[in-house]
């Protein structure tokens, strides 16, 4: 008798368990992932309190300059660009300037001293004899078949590196008595072969300058 009485109770328990499992499965399907509420359910017949929204954070106020202008965030600069310095900010001295205490030394240009005479050396290739002669600026001296006319002759002060130069014109006197220009240009005493006179018999090059006329020895009377 006891067995027959417990059968309806067992069947009712099984039905309740099956219904509960089906209801939980349906709730799991319609419930969104990540939004599981951990708060306890309200009792039947009560109205749940409205959910409070998260407090909004107000943006930080922009700094205001003394003139009343608000400064916003600095715009993005292209790669390699340098931001402009703020007004009144100290800037680093530019390279090569004397703002940082370094003195920039500028070398003065080389001085040229004009002389009144140019000194040349001439070689006679037939006899092998070398002769030196002085020529006044603007005048013409005869050496063999060549006529040498210096236009300028420059030197440098003794405190600087010496560089003696002369702008010279050289003509060749032909057998017909005509003057033929064979050289026009600068001669350098330190490099005689740099700009030399090309002639089959005579060679002429610069060896120096003189500020005054050459001194000649006088014989005793």
Per residue in 85-143, pLDDT (tens digit) is: 666 655 655 555 555 556 665 555 668 899 999 999 999 999 999 999 999 999 999 99
Quickly state the pLDDT bin for 177 (edges 50, 70, 90).
Answer: confident
H or E stretch covering 43: none
Q: What distance in Å separates the CA atoms of residue 210 and residue 117, rounded to the nearest whole number? A: 5
> What residues form DSSP beta bridges with 136?
117
Assess whether pLDDT exceeds 80 at residue 171.
yes
Q: What distance in Å separates the CA atoms of residue 150 and residue 153, rounded to the nearest whole number? A: 7
Q: Name the 3-class secondary structure at 25.
A: helix
Q: Report domain extents, the chain.
A: 113-210
Q: What distance in Å separates the CA atoms of residue 122 and residue 202, rounded to the nearest whole number? A: 7
Residue 188, burial from CB neighbour count under 10 angstroms (0-12, 13-18, 19+): middle
**Which single residue is written with the structure tokens 């017909």?**
176
Q: Among 170, 164, 133, which residue's Cα sits nearest to residue 150?
A: 170
Q: What distance in Å separates the CA atoms of residue 79 and residue 104, rounded to the nearest whole number? A: 33
- Mean pLDDT calculated for residue range 185-204: 86
**Which single residue is written with the structure tokens 């130069």?**
165
If one compares 176 and 100, the residue with the highest pLDDT of the two is: 176
């Amino acid at each position: 008798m006891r067995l027959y009485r417990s059968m309806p109770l067992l069947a009712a328990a099984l039905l309740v368990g099956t219904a509960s499992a089906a209801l939980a499965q349906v709730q799991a399907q319609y419930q969104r992932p990540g939004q599981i509420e951990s708060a306890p359910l309200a009792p039947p017949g009560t109205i749940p309190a409205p959910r409070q929204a998260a407090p909004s954070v107000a943006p930080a106020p922009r700094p205001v300059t003394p003139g009343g202008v608000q400064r916003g965030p600095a715009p993005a600069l292209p790669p390699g660009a340098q931001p402009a310095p703020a007004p009144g900010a100290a800037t680093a001295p530019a390279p090569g300037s004397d703002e940082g205490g370094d003195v920039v030394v500028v070398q003065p240009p080389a001085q040229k001293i004009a002389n009144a005479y140019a000194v040349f050396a001439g070689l006679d290739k037939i006899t092998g004899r070398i002769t030196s002669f002085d020529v006044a600026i603007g005048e013409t001296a005869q050496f063999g078949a060549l006529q040498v006319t210096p236009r300028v002759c420059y030197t440098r002060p003794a405190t600087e590196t010496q560089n003696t130069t002369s702008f010279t014109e050289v003509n060749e006197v032909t057998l017909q008595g005509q003057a033929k220009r064979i050289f026009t240009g600068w001669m350098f005493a330190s490099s005689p072969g740099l700009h030399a006179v090309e002639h089959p018999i005579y060679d002429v090059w610069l060896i120096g300058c003189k500020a005054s006329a050459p001194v000649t020895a006088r014989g005793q009377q």
